[in-house]
Amino acid sequence: MTAMQAQAGQQSERCVVLMVAATASGQGKTLVTAALARWHVRQGRRVRIFKCGPDFLDPRWHALASGAVVHNLDLWMTGEADIQARLAQAAQEADVILIEGVMGLFDGSPSAADLALRWNIPVLAVLQVGAMAQTCAAVVYGLKHYQPDLRFAGVLCNHVASAKHASLLQHSLEPTGDWLGALPKLQAPDSQGSAAAYLPSRHLGLVAAAEIPDAMARLDQAADALTQTPLGQMPWSEWQSRWSLDAMPHPPKPPMAERAPALQGKTIAIAHDAAFAFVYSANVQLLQDLGACCVFFSPLAGDDLPACDALWLPGGYPELHAPALRRNTQLQASIRTHWQQHKPIWAECGGMLALAESVRLRDGSVEALWGLLPAQATMQARLAGLGHQQLDWPANTELPSLRGHTFHYSTLDCSLPAWTHTHRPDASAGGEAVYRHGSLTASYFHAWFASSPEWMARLFLGALP
Catalytic site positions:
349
- CA distances in angstroms from 152 to 105, 114, 142, 316, listed in the order given: 11, 13, 11, 36
Mapped onto helix, strand or coil, the DSSP state of residue 236 is helix
Rounded CA-CA distance 229/172 in Å is 17
Mapped onto helix, strand or coil, the DSSP state of residue 392 is coil
* Cα dihedral sign, 349-352-354-360: negative
220: nearest Cα among 237, 212, 69: 212
366: nearest Cα among 381, 378, 383, 382: 378
Question: How many CB atoms lie under 10 A from the CB of residue 379?
Answer: 18
Q: Please, are residues 323 and 367 in contact by the beta-carbon 8 Å criterion?
A: yes
Query: Based on the number of CB atoms within 10 Å of its own CB, is 6 exposed (0-12), middle (13-18) or buried (19 or more)?
Result: exposed
Sheet bearing 446-447, strands edge to edge: 385-391, 402-408, 446-447
Rounded CA-CA distance 277/274 in Å is 5
6: nearest Cα among 118, 92, 97, 95: 92
